[in-house]
Amino acid sequence: MKKWFITGASSGLGREFCQQLLQRGDSVVATLRKAGPLDDLHQRYGDRLQVLYMDVTDSEAVRAAVAQAFAGEARIDVVVSNAGYGLFGAAEELTDAQISRQLATNLTGSIQLIRAVLPFLRRQGGGRIVQISSEGGQIAYPNFSLYHASKWGIEGFIEAVAQEVSAFGIDFMLAEPGPTGTQFAHGLDQAPPLAAYQATASGEMRRALASGAFTIKGDATRTVSTTIAFCDMAHPPLRLPLGSTAWHHIRDALHQRLEALIPLEETAAGADADAE
């Protein structure tokens, strides 16, 4: 039996993680911003579900919740950094407040959670951190520029930190779902459209989302069950694409970047200093 710490557990993938893990006999410490969403699971599974309240944008609250989860001799095997949401709109359409909140939640919130759990994982001799990222941590859609900034940012952060803490038995996995059937789209923070963008890729994306033409192939239950299965492995990959859309989009993006990079080898070398 494993013990998990999961943020953003009130709905979507976070709640699905709680449900599947409790059903298979594991214990979960779940964090929410307000009471209520997990009452039914608490009634069903009792003490195997511990609910804590915090907002990931409040770093002091994050540290306090983490300390409470690890209190005494408690060991946590897997930390799932799941809290987050999407901000939708062309970069010019977004307000300063929207940008600050997106980065504070998806990027800084995830960073501070990881920083908070590292001392505890180090002291207990290791553990695993699963960051719920997105295919959007390696590719980009119009109208999601700040969401992508948060996901590309947290992926870069984790690539570095994974090297720093591997000697302590701490490892990471980046779960990268493609468009998935959760409440993500309904929870989008949408900026008011500017008329100037109606005939652009931004306008096309806005219309596709509003009409339902934007394809969503991913299944939330399978996304979570696959992630859990890989978490159970001794040595999972750093990045786990989830859904055929994610796999194809990431593959195509990596091929395009490599094709653009290879012809620039000589040019790049031309910026080196002369050998002494």
pLDDT tens for 87-97 read: 999 999 999 99
CB-count exposure of residue 92 (10 Å: 0-12, 13-18, 19+): exposed
pLDDT attached to residue 216: 80
272: left (phi over 0), alpha (psi -120 to 50) or beta: beta
Provide CB contacts within 8 A for 236, sequence distance 6+: 171, 173, 230
In whole angstroms, give the CA distance from residue 84 to residue 136. Answer: 13
Catalytic center residues: 10, 133, 147, 151
pTM for the full predicted model: 0.95
In whole angstroms, give the CA distance from residue 266 to residue 100. Answer: 40
CB 101 within 8 A of CB 85: no
Tokens of 239: 């990045």
In degrees and rounded to multiples of 5, residue 275 shows phi and psi of: -65, 135
Q: Does domain 3-267 have CATH number 3.40.50.720?
A: yes
DSSP at 233: S
CB atoms within 10 A of CB 41: 20
pLDDT tens, position by position, for the chain (276 residues)?
A: 999 999 999 999 999 999 999 999 999 999 999 999 999 999 999 999 999 999 999 999 999 999 999 998 889 999 999 999 999 999 999 999 999 999 999 999 999 999 999 999 999 999 999 999 999 999 999 999 999 999 999 999 999 999 999 999 999 999 999 988 776 777 789 999 999 999 999 999 999 988 887 888 889 999 999 999 999 999 999 999 999 999 999 999 999 999 999 999 999 999 999 988
In whole angstroms, give the CA distance from residue 158 to residue 170. Answer: 12
Provide CB contacts within 8 A for 10, sequence distance 6+: 32, 33, 34, 37, 38
In whole angstroms, give the CA distance from residue 188 to residue 220. Answer: 17
In whole angstroms, give the CA distance from residue 202 to residue 205. Answer: 5
